[in-house]
Amino acid sequence: MSWLIWGGALLSVLGLCGILWSIVTVWRAKKANLPDEEMRERIRKVMPVNMGALFVSVIGLMSVIMGISLS
């Protein structure tokens, strides 16, 4: 079950990278002092990536827990 633990850890790290990317992207947009509509559009584009990264991270953590439980 070692492969399940390491695969889950890899998924969790990839999800974390996606979450950090979305945080940095929105942070840069806020620092740019954009008009309200343009800010909303940028956040709207980043939101699916953020949700997908969160999903991948959760699946990875569940895989790690499953691998530890089955070992």
Q: Each residue of 8-65: pLDDT tens digit?
A: 999 999 999 999 999 999 999 999 988 999 999 999 999 999 999 999 999 999 999 9
Show the domain range for 30.
2-70
Q: What span, in angstroms and rounded, lies between the C-alpha atoms of 68 and 50?
A: 27
Whole-number pLDDT of residue 48: 96
**Tokens linked to 71:** 């070992």
Whole-number pLDDT of residue 66: 95
Give 9's Cβ-side CA count (13 Å radius): 8
Number of domains in the chain: 1
Question: What's the predicted TM-score (pTM) here?
Answer: 0.85
Query: Do residues 53 and 15 make contact, with C-beta atoms less than 8 angstroms apart?
Result: yes
Whole-number pLDDT of residue 1: 82
User: Is residue 71 predicted with pLDDT exceeding 90?
Assistant: no
Residue closest to 8 by CA, chosen among 22, 70, 48: 70
Whole-number pLDDT of residue 69: 94
